[in-house]
Structure 1
Amino acid sequence: MQDEDNVATGAQEGAEQQAPQVKMHILTQFVRDLSFENVLAQRGVGGEVQPDVTVNVNLDAKKRKPDHQYEVAIKLNVESKNKGTEDKLFLLEMEYAGVFHVENVPEEQLHPFLMIECPRMIFPFLRRIVSDVTRDGGFPPLNMENIDFLQIYRNEIMRRQAEQEKPASAELN
């Protein structure tokens, strides 16, 4: 039994020596831009309101001057309309960013890592701010569902591939 444990431990140590451990630290996170407009209060509309909320998410990542540092931003646009009349209730625009120290990620995996894992780490903080701002703005707190950053990444890759194929197919016609 002990020999099996030693073999397993030796195999783990060998694997760790071959592939360096990925290191990722959130150095800081911050709100770059925040705007909340309570359209309902400005118009003074009364009556029954049934909100229909639309959330759009964009991601951005860029290298920073120090080695292994990257800035990743989630750009959020939340619009709420009344279901019956399509009148705007509120508009929330926010850009939330994090600065990450990332090491030992292979170059071909760095872009997906920055666009999937980093936003996943800072999203709970963004969600809390959105909830607080909508509540403080006079509406029930907007408790956003988890965002599937992997699916957003895949959709963007497919969109870019379709754009590249479109000019090529237009030339053939």
Structure 2
Amino acid sequence: MTDQFLCDLTRKLFFSMSETDQSTPPALPLAVNLQYTRDLSFEVPAGAEIFATLRSQPAIAVNIDVQASRLQDDQSVYEVTLAIKAEAKEAPETEGGVPGRTVFIAELAYAAVVTLTNPPQELIEPMLLVEVPRLIFPYARNIISDVTRDGGFPPIVLQPIDFVALWQAKRAEFPQTAGNA
């Protein structure tokens, strides 16, 4: 369903644009103006003690969220923020350590400022909450990997995220806000 959704989205974007001018290849109605680290935090609550007692791979929980907001009411300029939180805890079967103790917490808010140029109304929300996060995810993944490695732990390599499923889950959870990207 995800691949089909992205194919349909791409077809709609190119089809709606190709009706206007056949002489030039269509460009996506989406421009990434800039992307940046909005907030970054890495904590090792137990300090150096954790390195002495950690004997096994910690259990890592990753939470992902996407937010979008219009920057100016009279323009189609938006800020899209991809929030990633990775929390590692000592595994329950840890010997010599404290099972469940937090090993580290990595939090990243990675944002992009984008401009949408005359997109069909029904595609604004999926462009902001699916396509833009898909474009900026590799950069955010690299930052999380680097910060955990630089923090003295094996790097976290985040697997690709199904942003369509994330968007659909958010729409199901908050149906009253659907369409208000």
Residue 123 of structure 1 deviates from its aligned partner by: 0.4
Q: TM-score, normalised by structure 1?
A: 0.78
* Alpha-carbon spacing, 1:40–1:101, altered in 2? closer, same or farther (3 Å): same
Residues in 1 aligned to 2:69 and 2:54: alpha-carbon distance in whole angstroms? 46
* Alpha-carbon spacing, 1:29–1:15, altered in 2? closer, same or farther (3 Å): closer
Residue 50 of structure 1 deviates from its aligned partner by: 2.1
Residues in 2 aligned to 1:129 and 1:158: alpha-carbon distance in whole angstroms? 30
1:95 aligns with 2:109: yes
Q: Secondary structure of the equivalent of 1:39?
A: coil
* Alpha-carbon spacing, 1:43–1:111, altered in 2? closer, same or farther (3 Å): same
Task: Give the aligned residue type for 1:17.
Answer: E
Residues in 2 aligned to 1:160 and 1:60: alpha-carbon distance in whole angstroms? 13
Structure 2 residues without counterparts, runs of 5 or longer: 1-14, 93-98
- Which of 8, 16, 19 is 1:17 aligned to? 19
Q: Which deviates more from structure 2 when the two are superposed, residues 41-50 or residues 133-142? A: 41-50
1:7-49, Cα deviation, whole Å (9 max, x unpaired): xxxxxx9982259853212111111111100234344442412
Residues in 1 aligned to 2:17 and 2:157: alpha-carbon distance in whole angstroms? 42
Task: Give the aligned residue type for 2:76.
Answer: H
* Alpha-carbon spacing, 1:28–1:47, altered in 2? closer, same or farther (3 Å): closer
Match of 2:144 in 1: 130
Poorly superposed stretches of 4+, deviation over 4 Å: 18-21
Match of 1:32 in 2: 38
Match of 1:50 in 2: 57
Q: TM-score, normalised by structure 2?
A: 0.75
Higher helix proportion (structure 1 or 2): 1
CA contact (8 A) 2:71 2:77 kept: yes
Structure 1 residues without counterparts, runs of 5 or longer: 1-12, 165-173
Residues in 1 aligned to 2:121 and 2:115: alpha-carbon distance in whole angstroms? 15
- Cα RMSD between the aligned structures? 2.6
Match of 2:82 in 1: 74
CA contact (8 A) 1:22 1:104 kept: no
Higher strand proportion (structure 1 or 2): 1
Task: Give the aligned residue type for 1:160.
Answer: F
Which runs of structure 2 are paired with 1:99-114 in the superposition (5 Å)?
99-114=113-128
Task: Give the aligned residue type for 1:137.
Answer: G
Task: Give the aligned residue type for 1:33.
Answer: D
Residues in 2 aligned to 1:56 and 1:97: alpha-carbon distance in whole angstroms? 16
Larger Rg: 1
Q: Secondary structure of the equivalent of 1:92?
A: strand
